[in-house]
A and B are shown apart, each in its own frame.
Chain A
Amino acid sequence: MVKQRVQIFGVHAILIAYSALALGPILLVVMNSFKTRNAIFGAPLAPPTSATFSLIGYMKVFNASHIGTYFMNSLIVTVVSMALVLLFGAMAAWALTEYRFRGSTALALFLSIGIMVPIRLGSVAILTMMREAHLNDTLTALILVYIAQGLPLSIFILSEFIQQIPKDLRDAARCDGVPETRIFFEVIAPLLRPAIATVAVFTIVPIWNDLWFPLILTSSDTTHTITLGVQQFLGQYITDWNAVLAALSMAILPVVAIYVIFSRQLISGLTAGAVK
């Protein structure tokens, strides 16, 4: 009994130590972003008190950068890409799992190339294409690339989900003479809601956090995403610790808030998707 107690204590000690290592740096940055410059350097590990509290960093970020625009751009790009990845991905996954036709296996293989081969390696040609189509420096260019990037894995994940839906459901609908398109949109699509979390972890988070494509495809302030905008702001204000810490926190906090709200769904989606 004693040995078991000691074992459990040891397990918790390791997990608490690792949790501290994972959370510590994030807390440190967020905490210090609310402090005066002197307090940041004088006592980095102390939480802000009424004497050391300051929002000067946040004011600078708002005044000196287009953080609102960047945030909106990221939101537009991510939401539109996510909606279209889910729609196109679910339709393709449905067609590939439900119907058999000549070449369907080859098509499934073709669509899965992108799971392993990063689209980044085609950047030289993507930039040329976007320039020729006069799409460079637009959010549309980013959205098109992100849909292409997100589709292969989401088709794979959604196919796994679709295979688990009982066959009787669609066959019952078919007996009633419901057309195939309505079977998909009205019977199958609503059942795919649990899959959204899994697709989100694997395709949406990389889109929100991506630096590469905004860096090569967008060149003006009006089209920068939050990741690129913050990266450039940080490079410019590297010596202004208040501003840097505030910019970092403003990039961290929305993600953490959404993550905490949805962490149960996200993690169960992640583990469910991984089992396959």
Chain B
Amino acid sequence: MAEPISQVVAAMPRARFVALMALFLGPAVAVYTLFSIYPLIATMGLSTYTTDNAGAYSFVGLSNFVTLLTDSLWSKPFWNAAKNNLIFFAVHMAVQNPIGIVLAGLLSLPGLKLKGLYRTIIFLPTMLSVVIVGFSWNLILSPLWGVAEGALKAVGLGSLFAPWLGLPSTALVTLALISVWQFVGIPLMLIYAALLNIPDELVDAARVDGLGHLRIFLHIKLPLVLPTIGLISVLTFVGNFNAFDLIYSVKGALAGPNFASDILGTFFYRTFFGNQLQLGNPTMGAAVATVMFFIILVGVCLYLFIVQRRLRRYSF
């Protein structure tokens, strides 16, 4: 910090300063450490133990991880969930973020009327609970109700309809698209804010040079909001690799049909809590959570050290 702290603070007796800091920082640090950081570390610790039938814990080193990654009883569902999670993330990156960018670009056009109304409506689904959104789409896509089928028929595409949520080949992508529908508001808002932040002189200069809106957007605005797009990508990554609510509320803990929509969040829940097929196993659950932690850590570090560092040059 450039400026010196005010003399009153500097002249304060040391004991009083410490007491003041304890008062201001104490509650936040205590609650956060006790209920966020400690459980994370304790979970990692627990992943190196196993329980016997009597419930006694014994240290087993990394053998839970070896089991998880090599014993086919565990590794098959784990790799299936990891692969599905990657697809889930890929759909978000390929659909949610481009739609968010396009809509933000349109909303930030100068002199556009009704932009407040559009923003409010498009952001609305983001405010709703994932459970509500999942169930609503479950009903809409249900062949029983026939709303989706009717809508497709109305535009002459009736033959395309299938019970997408029920088919192993389409369930996962359909769920990912439902999630995209709900959360497109987040990239939209963040990019919109970044676009508003671009200095007017830059855009005006381009306009004087005769560039149209589209070329201004592609060549001037888009490169300037790349850091925001990087941030959105890492937020999407963390959110997706930690997702659970949508799949659980639409498909249940078994993430059917036949685990076709199983992702790491539902796999973690089943392992930890158990379900119709298996008993809950806290130590294996802790191992799954630890693996998820490292996956998220790798993603965040890649962002911090590669994407963020490269993109800094463009920031203004």
Interface residues of chain A, those whose CB is within 8 Å of chain B, are 7-8, 11-12, 14-15, 18-19, 21-23, 25-26, 28-29, 40-41, 44-45, 84, 87-89, 91-92, 94-96, 98-101, 107, 110-111, 113-114, 116-126, 128-129, 144-145, 147-149, 151-152, 155, 167, 170-171, 174-175, 180-181, 184, 205, 208-212, 215-216, 227, 230-231, 234-235, 241, 244-245, 248, 251-252, 255-256, 259-260, 263-264, 267, 270-272, 274-275
The SS class assigned to the A binding surface is: helix
- Which residue of A is nearest B151, CB measured? A45
Chain B neighbourhood of A181, CB < 8 A: 20, 23
A28, B150: Cα distance in complex, Å = 13
Please tell me which one of the listed residues B23, B46, B135 contacts residue A234 in the complex, with CB atoms under 8 A apart.
B135
- Which residue of B is nearest A171, CB measured? B6
Please tell me which one of the listed residues B116, B196, B297 contacts residue A117 in the complex, with CB atoms under 8 A apart.
B297
Contact A107 B29 (CB under 8 A): yes
Task: Knowing A116-B296, A118-B238, A123-B39, say if A147 contacts B189 (CB, 8 Å).
Answer: no
Q: Flag whether B42 is at the interface (Cβ < 8 A).
A: yes
Please tell me which one of the listed residues B34, B129, B194, B238 contacts residue A275 in the complex, with CB atoms under 8 A apart.
B194
Please tell me which one of the listed residues A18, A119, A271 contacts residue B192 in the complex, with CB atoms under 8 A apart.
A271
**10 tightest CB-CB pairs across the interface, nearest first?**
A122-B39, A125-B42, A148-B35, A95-B24, A271-B193, A92-B28, A209-B129, A125-B39, A274-B193, A148-B36
The SS class assigned to the B binding surface is: helix
Task: Knowing A14-B106, A123-B43, A181-B20, say if A114 contacts B36 (CB, 8 Å).
Answer: yes
- Which residue of A is nearest B119, CB measured? A267
Contact A15 B118 (CB under 8 A): yes
Chain B neighbourhood of A110, CB < 8 A: 37
A152, B40: Cα distance in complex, Å = 15
Chain A neighbourhood of B146, CB < 8 A: 44
Contact A117 B296 (CB under 8 A): yes
Q: Flag whether B103 is at the interface (Cβ < 8 A).
A: yes
A123, B1: Cα distance in complex, Å = 38
Q: Flag whether B59 is at the interface (Cβ < 8 A).
A: no
Least CB distance, A43 to chain B, in whole angstroms: 10
Contact A116 B36 (CB under 8 A): no
Could you list 25 A-B pairs, sorted by A, with CB under 8 Å?
A8-B112, A11-B106, A23-B124, A25-B181, A44-B147, A91-B24, A92-B27, A95-B21, A99-B9, A99-B21, A110-B37, A117-B40, A122-B39, A122-B42, A124-B285, A125-B38, A149-B36, A180-B9, A231-B131, A245-B139, A252-B128, A259-B127, A271-B196, A274-B190, A275-B194
Please tell me which one of the listed residues B1, B43, B122, B300 contacts residue A100 in the complex, with CB atoms under 8 A apart.
B1
Contact B106 A101 (CB under 8 A): no
Least CB distance, B81 to chain A, in whole angstroms: 15
Contact B40 A121 (CB under 8 A): yes
Chain B neighbourhood of A88, CB < 8 A: 27-28, 31
Given contacts A96-B25, A151-B32, A263-B123, 20 further A-B contacts (CB under 8 A): A19-B117, A40-B145, A44-B146, A91-B27, A100-B5, A117-B293, A118-B296, A119-B36, A120-B242, A129-B42, A151-B31, A171-B6, A184-B24, A215-B248, A227-B132, A230-B129, A251-B132, A255-B129, A271-B193, A271-B196
- Which residue of B is nearest A29, CB measured? B136
